Amino acid sequence: MTKLNIKRAFERKKSILPELKLAKKARGFIENGNHYGDHMVFRLNQNIKSAKKDRGAKSESSAASSIYFEGQFDSLNGYPYLDVENEDATYLMNALDLNNNGKISKKEAKRFSITAVSTDPLIPNHSRDADVTQYMSSEDVYFQYTPTPVLNGQPGPGTLVFNTDIVSVGTDNDGNVISFICPQETHAIDNVFISGSLKFEVEVGEIGGKIDPLTGEGVIYGDNVSWKFWGDMEVYGETISISKKDAAFIPIQDSSGSGGLFALNSIEKSAHGDGEIENVFSSYFVKGVQGDPSGIQKGLLQDTLIHAVNAFYPGFANGGTSIQWNIDLKEPTTVVGDEYLNNAHALEMHSH
């Protein structure tokens, strides 16, 4: 993959889109591929010498190499530019701002490069379920969370082990990832906040990436990721029902703090939880960090659900909780009729 050097990073005066001014050598890559105007997924790379220097100074900026974002190529006065998607802009600019002074100097910008990791834009998840020709369901899904301790090392870490087939990754004939059926489970909760059945789901708003159907290796990109909680329950003695549309939620970001854009990379084939290694075709792994759910809910009921979840799994719903997923997938299955589409509908994946 071609690395494109950055010369400047700034915001246009007449546009809300922040821009990266690229070195002129980037024109060859853009023009040869006819990429002007193309919306792509990129990775931010910190130059090796710069990263080593910052790690020696105990800087956190070396995490920038894992930052993924979306952008579109443009040109001005003979220089190639990259318009960065608004949702990713703040995180990207923070990564480039090595001295944390709120400005990005030419010297700082030149210490980074970008790589186009996908020439296809992300698409709304489940918008192309009817085009899925193969899918890989999960043998196991293993989730670990580590809250920031409040007192005497508590709350401590915990795990969630999801049932087999709870995840499905749908692809087209070329192995492009065009759908992701997310982990969803129902928990019986009875605590001081609520009593009833509460559904947990990891929702992925946009999806992309590619998986080799022969080896299972590849990468899955997901954006606008969050936990969702809804169901039928009693709240302080009153019977209520919260729909998925009005669910309580916790935003999830990449572990580098780069925003909502995740990259689930394939790893050595493995099994977790109750999974059987002989059933595993390929394995994927990602780290993240949960945003603060307080102050962003739709109302008091949603706030109450967040408290109920935190009482059920202490520290799980705290902002800043570190999380990581292991998703072990079975070998690809050819879609028969509307099988995949019906599965997505049954889990309310198309309801919002």
Task: Map residue 317 onto helix, strand or coil.
Answer: coil
| Measured distance CA(331)–CA(6) in Å, rounded | 40
pLDDT at residue 77, rounded to an integer: 84
CA torsion through residues 27, 98, 16, 13, sign: negative
The answer to whether the pTM exceeds 0.95 is no
Residue 237, Ramachandran bin (φ over 0: left; ψ between -120 and 50: alpha; else beta): left
Q: Give pLDDT tens digits for 40-93.
A: 999 998 876 655 555 454 443 343 446 889 999 998 888 899 999 888 888 888
Spatial CB neighbours of 60, under 8 Å, sequence gap ≥ 6: none
Give the number of other Cβ atoms within 10 Å of residue 275's Cβ: 21
Q: What is the predicted pLDDT for the residue at 62?
A: 40
Domain boundaries, the chain: 3-118, 123-346
Sequence-separated (6 or more) residues with CB below 8 Å from residue 239: 232, 233
Question: What's the per-residue H, E or C state across 278-301?
Answer: HHCCEEEEEEEEECCCCCCCCCHH
Provide the pLDDT for residue 19: 84
Which DSSP symbol is given to 154? B
The pLDDT of residue 49 is 61
- What the block records as the tokens of 94 is 């923070």
For residue 307, count other CB atoms closer than 10 A to its CB.
17
* Among 96, 89, 42, 38, residue whose Cα is nearest residue 64: 96
Per residue of the chain (352 residues), give pLDDT as tens: 788 999 988 754 545 556 899 999 999 999 999 999 999 999 998 876 655 555 454 443 343 446 889 999 998 888 899 999 888 888 888 888 888 888 888 899 989 999 999 888 899 999 999 999 999 999 999 999 999 998 898 999 999 988 788 999 999 999 999 999 998 889 999 999 999 999 999 999 999 999 999 999 999 999 999 999 999 999 988 999 999 999 999 999 876 655 668 899 999 999 998 899 999 999 999 998 999 999 999 999 999 999 999 999 999 999 999 999 999 999 999 998 788 888 888 776 655 4
CA–CA dist 181, 170 (Å, integer): 8
In three-state secondary structure terms, 101 is coil
Contact yes or no for 270/283 (Cβ under 8 A)? yes
- Secondary element (H or E) of residue 45: strand 39-46
Residues with Cβ within 8 Å of residue 102, at least 6 apart in sequence: none
The three-class DSSP label of residue 78 is coil
* Class (C level, CATH) for 3-118: mainly beta
| 90-100 burial code (b ≥16 CB/10 A, e <16) | ebbbbbbbbee
**Could you give phi then psi for residue 32, rounded to 5 degrees?**
-65, -35
Tens digit of each residue's pLDDT (9 = 90 or more) over 324-340: 999 999 999 999 878 88
